[in-house]
A and B are shown apart, each in its own frame.
Chain A
Amino acid sequence: MLAHGFGCDQSMWRLVVPALERDFTVVLFDHVGAGNSDLSAWSRERYSTLNGYVDDLLALCRELALGPVTFVGHSVSAMMGVVAAAREPEAFAGLVLLAPSPCFIDDPETGYRGGFSAEDIEELLESLEANYLGWSGAMAPVIMGNPERPELGEELTNSFCRTDPDIARVFARVTFLSDNRADLAEVGVPTLVAQCSTDAIAPREVGAFVHARIPGSRLVTLNATGHCPQLSAPEETAAAIAAFAGGTR
């Protein structure tokens, strides 16, 4: 089960899915509020904390009844997996935490360095706001125009045009202001922490922190750079996921 992070939708996985589908049943979904999800199901109350997303995740596992799944969570979804596995370990065969960060904000009291300050997050919200005009319905066909691969353009037009600015703002706050450091120790299922060699959002120091706090977890550092290894290095990312998921069966 592959869960996308903040900013995009399930199309983020499109380059790793073909490799994974050869050996596994792959479940893709859009978080409520993102992509092609039913926006009327979104509410500020439910989705102002990770718990709303975690509830959805567990409901999805129950509904599909596939038995224990290997959950691959990118970025903020990695922490959804952590909280969900702590709550209902029997639903998970294992967790792959891709470019995870349990807390983006620095915590001088404990010496924890997430890499950002609260002001930085406000600046991100401004960037979102500034680009809301750019993502308006009228501009979307131009921005998304991709004559060579119309099916891709269609997919992106749908997912990005529907990123309601109010929802994006709330999701950005959940993503960057949550602190799940205390939840890491509660994870009792096999866990792979997969971080990138250079990641401006989740630095290697943070990946090492996650690995140290989750009992028995394994850490791999991908050669991939950036925060989205499933796009920048799909083969390497798919191979790491497949090797781990194959070992948990």
Chain B
Amino acid sequence: MCETNDEEGGGPEGDEGPVDEQAQFSALLEDSAEDLYEHAPCGYLSTQLDGRIAKINTTLLDWLGYQREDLVGRKHFSDLLTVGGRLYHETHFAPLLRMQGEINGIALELKAADGARLPVLVTSTVKTGSDGQPLLIRTTVFDARDRRAYETELLRARREADQERDRLQVLATTLQQTLLPPALVDVPGLDVAAHYHIASVDQVGGDFYDLFPLAAGTWGLFLGDVCGKGAAAAAITSLARYTLRAAAVYDPDPVAVLGNLNTVLNHEYNGDDPRFCTVVFGLLTPDPDRGGFHITLASGGHPPALLMRADGTADFLPTPGGQLIGVLRDAHIATTTVHLVPGDTLLLHTDGLTEAHTGPTAGGDDRYGDDALLDFGRALAPTTASSTISAVRDLLDTFGSGVEDDTALLAIHAPQPPSEEQQ
């Protein structure tokens, strides 16, 4: 239309355009509304409010293989649907259309006259009269064969991904369990409890602990944290755990044990992908004279153990200067000794606990921290191994998703001898 007007005005383009091209363009514009309706590249359908077909275009009739008189006034829109589609129509499509006045892009299947199924996308609007009363329903139908194939593929991929994720979780959980002792050994005169908090079911964490017998009358224990997560970290965790146990048999001196672990990790991973861990190793010896246990702890860069005493006090057992295991050829390993008298409890933990976010939203800057843990221990003392683990588990629960890293906990407690309690 604009072009024609321009031509009247003698515009430069109008002058240059060949006359027959103009005529062709005009002919295109004269495409009648009626012809567009009948042969549009989509199906058109008008129905009464109860779904009875009042008008349908040639495109849709051709797709379905029906004659106009087969459908108009005889069939309802839902008669064209598969039975499942009809149920969906009655329970979702029709109520929504009635409540909203329109419904958009619903995937349905139409049944052709020969029984073939045609996947379509259906959009309907309700035409209302000037008084707002609904008069009829107008529906457009788009051929969705390609799109449906694509969506089916998407759904299949999603189901596959769901299954893979389930399998991964089972695998990760199983692997995690193999990195931890199935049960802690029974040490005469010692109350022991442990807990492993898994932060993510998708990934194997790198925390580990163990308690095991050494030469007659002594026991070794360790708890550590490998840098990183996933399969690579799990491999180091496994290596660290078996190296520690073997090294302790060879020479139970805690400094020697961690020195050996340092050498192994350093040799193994001094390339582009250095792997290291923090770990605390302890040698337990019962003290027959004073009761309780004598403990030598060696630490390589690990958070200090928390001692909760029988008298209700609590303190960290610092091991200053201990270096990460596996980074340097000769890591410095710090030691401390403590006498666990009857009634004392010692808690070893990984930093998943103290690094947990405590703010209202996970990911905030408020971390639990060492000071809070010390206060927690002071409030708890005197306690027992199982009470300690149970209290820390409750604490972790309050953090919820704020615990971003796995957390290993190992508590040992020297109970009061029964005879002493009676005195």
Interface residues of A (CB under 8 A from B): 5-8, 11-12, 14, 75, 116-117, 120-134, 139, 142-144, 146, 148, 152-153, 156, 160, 176, 198-201, 225-228, 231-232
Contacts and interface: CB of A to CB of B under 8 A. Distances in A.
A133 B154 contact: yes
A143 B105 contact: yes
Interface stretch (B77-85, B174-182, B239-247, B380-388): B77-85
Contact of A225 (B50, B84, B87, B106): B50
Given A143-B104, A200-B78, 5 more contacts: A120-B83, A130-B107, A130-B151, A146-B100, A227-B91
Contacts of B104: 142-143
Nearest to B87: A124
A200 B154 CA distance: 32
A128 B98 contact: no
Contact of A120 (B78, B87, B100, B102): B87
A139 B106 CA distance: 12
B6 interface: no
Interface residues of B, number: 34
Contacts of B154: 133
Nearest to A115: B83
Nearest to A127: B88
B98 A139 contact: no
Nearest to B107: A130
A121 B83 CA distance: 8
B94 A144 contact: no
A89 B264 CA distance: 76
B49 A232 contact: yes
29 contacts: A7-B95, A117-B83, A120-B83, A120-B87, A121-B84, A122-B84, A125-B84, A127-B88, A128-B88, A129-B155, A130-B148, A131-B88, A131-B92, A131-B106, A139-B105, A146-B101, A153-B100, A156-B96, A156-B100, A200-B78, A200-B87, A200-B89, A225-B51, A226-B51, A231-B94, A231-B95, A231-B98, A232-B49, A232-B50
Nearest to B105: A134
Nearest to A160: B96
A161 B223 CA distance: 47
Contacts of A122: 84
A123 B95 contact: no
Interface in B40-67: 49-51
Given A7-B92, A127-B108, A134-B107, A232 B83 contact: no
Contacts of B103: 143
Contacts of B88: 124, 127-128, 131
Contacts of A199: 90
A31 B98 CA distance: 21
B68 interface: no
A120 B96 CA distance: 22
A139 to B, nearest CB: 7
Q: 6 tightest A-B contacts by CB?
A: A123-B84, A7-B91, A127-B88, A124-B84, A120-B83, A225-B50
A116 B83 contact: yes
Contacts of A143: 103-105
B36 interface: no
A97 B377 CA distance: 63
A126 B100 contact: no
B50 A226 contact: yes
B98 A232 contact: yes
Contacts of A153: 100
B90 A227 contact: yes
B107 A131 contact: yes
Given A127-B108, A200-B78, A227-B91, A11 B84 contact: no
Contacts of B94: 226-228, 231-232
A134 B151 CA distance: 10
Given A146-B100, A152-B100, A228-B98, A5 B105 contact: no
Contacts of A128: 88
B1 interface: no
Contacts of B85: 123-124, 127
Contacts of A7: 91-92, 95
A146 B97 CA distance: 11
A153 B102 CA distance: 11
A201 B100 contact: no
A12 B151 contact: no
Interface in B363-408: none
Nearest to A202: B90
Contacts of B102: 146
A142 B92 CA distance: 17
B23 interface: no
Nearest to B79: A200
A201 B99 contact: no
A198 B50 contact: yes
Contact of B95 (A8, A125, A130, A134): A8
Contact of A123 (B50, B83, B99, B151): B83
